[in-house]
Amino acid sequence: MANFQDIIEKLLLSDTGDLNELARIAGKDPKTFYIDADFKRCDLTGQNLDQMDTRYADFSRAKLSEMEQALWEIRKRIHTHKLDKNWEEYVVSNRALAAILNVFAARAKGPDQILFIQETVSAYRAALTVYTKDQNADNWANIQNNFAASLAALSKYAPNELASTLLEEAVIALRAALTVHTKSQQREEWADLQNNLGNVFADMAERTPGEAGSKLHGQSLIAYRAALTVNTKSENLEQWAKTISNLAILEIQRAEHDGRQDPRPYYETALAYVDDALTVVDPVIMAPQYAKASGLREQLLKALSADD
């Protein structure tokens, strides 16, 4: 009892209202401490509830931000749908959860951002455990594409071995999606998947030394060139410019792979891609693409100058 009274005294004398910190003062893990908490009529605005397990908590009439309220409600729905074996709504809710988590991840920094991305991966993975290609091929392929994107995002924060595993899984997901979104039937979706596949192979190559890394660069190049057979300059200028920039970045990676002895040809190829883009990309209408190409051009001119 004395120990409990000591904890109560510490909590009452604490000058913080942060729920995570209060749990730690009580000697508890904030992730699980509030699982069945009574938050009725509490003002929770500004509290970081995102990584707490609150599946049985009572939030009736509690004051939450709109996004926090949506996150809490969706997590509750997922738990209910799983218990009820309502798999269709379970998939819908997991996709909605992933969409909201992406917003939180974009706003967060450091460990919080990583946790949001991890939960996004888990949401898509959960959806794919019960949703099959036979149920709705288009939706299934879209989930696979989004799953691959979340895996690739998480790989940027992972140690090398884990990152490689995540990226390999992303390749599997994208290739699965390509069995549905074919070039003959869904050209734009197919090209988008090829571009994403090129990005994943490029990420893998950056982490892979030697000949194996060079082969991954080659696979990335094949995927980007495939995307350009659909995303042509005349038909889809914005996507064309995006892929051209990716090709330029790939050539820079190839130039710098394993301390290559003669990087100049790769830098020159990259510069040719960038100059091609800058001849048609409008600096106002397509400002992000123009800024990216201009930055790459400056980087390449410095690299070529240093190589003289």
Tell me: the pLDDT tens digits for 226-269?
999 999 998 888 889 999 999 999 999 999 998 678 899 999 99
d(CA 197, CA 227): 10
Average pLDDT, the chain: 87
Q: pTM for the complete prediction?
A: 0.78
- In whole angstroms, give the CA distance from residue 58 to residue 62: 9
d(CA 15, CA 51): 23
Contacts of 210 (CB under 8 A, 6+ apart): 258
Inform me whether the pLDDT recorded for 62 exceeds 90: no
Q: Name the more confident of 32 and 91.
A: 91
High-pLDDT (> 90) share of the chain, %: 57
Q: Give the residue-averaged pLDDT of 36-46.
A: 71
Measured between alpha carbons, how far is 295 from 284 in angstroms, rounded to an integer? 16
Q: What is the pLDDT of residue 1?
A: 41
Average pLDDT over residues 111-125: 93
Which residues are registered as beta bridge partners of 63?
43
Split at pLDDT 50, 70, 90, the class of 3 is low
Mean pLDDT of 169-174: 98
Q: What is the pLDDT of residue 2?
A: 45
Residue 285 in tokens: 């209408």
Of 294 and 13, more confident? 294
How many CB atoms neighbour CB 88 within 10 A? 12
Q: Which two tokens stand for residue 271?
A: 């510069």
Residues paired with 43 in a beta bridge: 63
pLDDT band, residue 308 (cuts 50/70/90): low
Band the pLDDT of 298: cuts 50, 70, 90.
Answer: very high
Q: Is 113 helix (H, G, I), strand (E, B) or coil?
A: helix
pLDDT at 54: 65
Contact 246, 294 (CB under 8 A): no
Whether the CB-CB separation of 120 and 105 falls below 8 Å is answered with yes
Beta bridge partners of 38: 58
Provide the pLDDT confidence category of residue 82 given band limits of 50, 70 and 90. very high
Mean pLDDT of 148-157: 96
Query: Which of 70, 40, 77 lies closest to 55 in space, CA to CA?
Result: 77
